[in-house]
Structure 1
Amino acid sequence: MAAGQAVVAQGGCGGGDAGGVAQYRVAGGRTRDTNDTWLVQFPDIPEALTVGQDVDEAAINAEEALEAALEIYFEARRPIPMPSKPAKGQASVTLPALVTSKVFLSNEMILQGVRKVDASIA
């Protein structure tokens, strides 16, 4: 990937279909930081920020940062925004299917006003 090329996290629903699994893509930017590290940011999930000493480490850290930020949304019962459409040619980090499923389940439960305890009683 070229310097400054954006990172996209895929994980499970939103913009397409790959082998039966919907794609959830969260556009993000990767830029060279002032201390010679790679900074990764996700405009749709601003709580997800990370750095890496090189591009590979930044990609690994990006997935971890995104998952950690999503946990904040889950715990606070905040709706997780549907991602912006990524630009053509953006790189990607693939989120686990379980995380993707949690995103959609969480959003649906919030939409319907259902809590975990309500779901376990039914």
Structure 2
Amino acid sequence: MYNYAIRFEQDSTPGLAVFCRDLPELNSYGDDREHAISEAVDAIEVTLSIYVDQRRPIPESSEPLPGEQVIYLPAVTVAKILLWNTMMERGMRKADLRRLLGVHQSQGDRLVDFMHTSKMEQIEAALAALGKRLAVTVQAA
């Protein structure tokens, strides 16, 4: 659902440029393939922040194409995506979420801030206030 596929392109300088079909705003770089993959999670989270800043829903991932590398996001990041997209479906702003939860601005804003680690319980509570329940599954690696 939110496991984004990235592709690598050899740059004219040493290193690899990273791109994502589903998140065209994503732009990242790594010294080599391993470094590029480790940088991709941060790049995806920065890109998700752009969607929040622009009040746009975050797109689901599409099936990877041959040669692409799938990036599996942390569970807390996926939960934040689900919270944000639920808010977008309902036309809610961050201020609406804060009022609904009865929390201060910084507490509410962090729930949809991909650069801040939130407690999963807080995100679950926010989803519950919106009539949603988070379900977690385990898959083979």
Equivalent pairs counted in the alignment come to: 100
Contact 1:77 1:106 in 2 (8 A): no
Q: Which amino acid aligns with 1:112?
A: R
Aligned to 2:38: 60
Residues 96 and 77 of structure 1: is their aligned pair in 2 closer, same or farther, counting only changes over 3 Å?
A: same
Aligned to 2:123: none
* % identical aligned pairs: 35
- Asked if 1:31 is matched to 2:9, the reply is yes
Aligned to 2:27: 49
Structure 1 unaligned residues grouped into runs of 5+: 1-13, 15-23
Higher RCO (CA 8 Å, separation ≥ 6 residues): 1
- The Cα of 1:90 is off from its aligned counterpart by 4.3
Bigger Rg, which one: 2
Greater CA deviation, 57-66 or 87-96?
A: 87-96
* 1:112 aligned residue (77, 83, 90): 90
Structure 2 unaligned residues grouped into runs of 5+: 101-141
- 1:1-16 equivalence runs, <5 A: 14=1
- The Cα of 1:117 is off from its aligned counterpart by 2.0
Contact 1:25 1:86 in 2 (8 A): no
CA distance in 2, matches of 1:94, 1:27: 9
TM-score norm. by structure 1 comes to 0.72
Higher strand fraction: Structure 1 or Structure 2? Answer: 1
- The Cα of 1:108 is off from its aligned counterpart by 1.1
Deviations 1:9-66 (A, max 9, x none): xxxxx1xxxxxxxxx2212211221112111101111111111111111111111111
Aligned to 2:47: 69
